[in-house]
Structure 1
Amino acid sequence: MITVHAKNGLHYWQFYPSQKNDLLTMNKKKFALEDGDINLFKEAIRGAKKIHQDQIVHAPIREKVTQPSRKKIHQEQVDASFYFSDEFQPQLDNDGPTRFLRPDSNPYELKKLRRGDYVPELFLDLHGLTQMEAKQEIGALIAACKRENVHCACIMHGHGKHILKQQTPLWLAQHPDIVAFHQAPKEWGGNASLLLLIETTESARR
């Protein structure tokens, strides 16, 4: 039996459980396929194989990065190179490979740099640059590392007694965002390069 309830001029139908089952059975019979139709369908798809999609490669969705203006980049470069004085001579250990550790940093960072545990993400080649140009480029590198949250970078200053080989460590040791640097492993240039760790927003949280 179906009962009808009137409420606010609207009618609501209520089915008893046995009636619900009868309706479901009727619907199944109404839309059921006959054996002949099922056999015909099976015959039509016999031998069909699943196609594996390997032609379209979807690029990963990357977060949109807002590019800073040229003026802002230049100002970051100027600010970063402000610390590089030719007159101030920080005390560096001259025994062994070139290295530096900021006083508040973990000594283990130097060991990891020496072993090559860190892989540089940005590289700077100073060959052919004047001291002024080199300062500006190093300042730009540090600014880019902080902007892009790059913790490790590599500076290639060259071999021998080139002035930039001598000055680059002295400049870097003056910058407050340089956590450490060490003569690079052979795969990153050996004694012609320095691997440096830059303090970034992400590295400071670690």
Structure 2
Amino acid sequence: MRKAPPDIPPEQDNRDDATLFRAAIGADAGKVRALPQAPPPPAAPKPKPSAKMARRDEDAAREEFRHMLVSALEAGDALSYRRDEITPCVLKKLARGEYAAQEELDLHGLPAQAAEALLREFLRDCRQHGLGCVRIVHGKGRNSEERLPVLKNLVDRLLRQRADVLAFHSPPASQGGTGAVLVLLKRE
């Protein structure tokens, strides 16, 4: 059997350790003062605000400025555009017709409003079906009343605005030349 310390009477020997410790250091008799309450730990610093909205605004302004720089295309002009993440090599392959069009849309001869609606629907369907390269025939615009190719300029403007369009270029003459455009699309 364990012996009790001399200053603790044997009848208190079955108390728990914490009580025995307090009695041994004199906490029960008021000889020990309590420590002051510890201050709460400092709050974690708030994360610095992200500049997502500012970045989006800058991207939108840059894209809008890019559209302003695009002047009206003439009948013999080639369409050409690539996003920054697409290499010039990919655009050259597109221009040489090295990508096979998986689907084609012919807008030739349609009124501008109908052509725009049809083009938007076509691109949405192509994206949903996971197509990577498509051809859009817009015609050369030689018979346009305004002496400028209306559909060609419409297609150029609309394709530049779409986030799902990675690049586009007029194909070689054997695939439509300046009366068509090959378009690379983002796949879902």
Q: Which TM class, normalised by the smaller chain length?
A: 0.5 to 0.7
Q: Report the secondary structure of 2:67's partner residue.
A: coil
Distance change (3 Å), C-alpha of 1:167 and 1:106? same
The Cα of 1:196 is off from its aligned counterpart by 0.5
Identity level (%) = 30
Sort the Cα spacing of 1:90 and 1:142 in 2 relative to 1 into closer, same or farther, 3 A: farther
| Whole-angstrom CA distance in 1 between matches of 2:68 and 2:163 | 13
On the 8 A contact 2:67/2:160 being kept in 1, the answer is no
Counterparts of 1:194 and 1:91 in 2: how far apart (Å)? Answer: 20
* Greater relative contact order (Cα < 8 A, sep 6+): 2
Match of 1:99 among 67, 74, 80: 80
Is the Cα contact below 8 Å between 1:120 and 1:153 reproduced in 2? yes
Which residue identity is paired with 2:182?
A: L
User: Does structure 2 conserve the Cα–Cα contact (< 8 Å) formed by 1:110 and 1:181?
Assistant: yes
Given that residues 92 and 100 in structure 1 are in contact (C-alpha distance below 8 angstroms), is that contact kept between their aligned partners in structure 2? Answer: no
Determine which structure has the larger strand proportion and give its number: 1
Tell me which residue corresponds to 2:115: 134
Does the aligned pair in 2 maintain the 1:92–1:99 contact within 8 Å?
Answer: no
Which residue number in structure 2 is paired with residue 24 of structure 1? none
- Mark the CA change 1:90 to 1:181 in structure 2 (over 3 Å): closer, same or farther: farther
- Which runs of 5 or more residues in structure 2 are unaligned? 1-65, 143-147
Aligned counterparts of 2:167 and 2:183: Cα–Cα separation in 1: 6
Q: Is the 8 A contact 1:90 1:174 kept in 2?
A: no
RMSD (Å) for aligned C-alpha atoms? 2.2
Tell me if the contact between 2:83 and 2:167 (Cα under 8 Å) persists in the aligned partners: yes
Alignment of 1:111-150 (within 5 A): 111-150=92-131
TM-score, with normalisation over the residues of structure 2?
0.55
Q: Which amino acid aligns with 2:116?
A: K
Q: Aligned to 2:161, what secondary structure does the other structure show?
A: coil
Partner SS for 2:153: helix
* 1:28-177 correspondence runs (5 A): 89-92=67-70, 97-159=78-140, 160=142, 161-177=148-164
What TM-score do the two structures reach when normalised by structure 1? 0.51
Give the equivalent residue in structure 2 for 1:81. none
1:52 corresponds in structure 2 to none
The structure-2 alpha-carbon separation of the partners of 1:175 and 1:98, relative to structure 1 and needing over 3 Å to count, comes to same
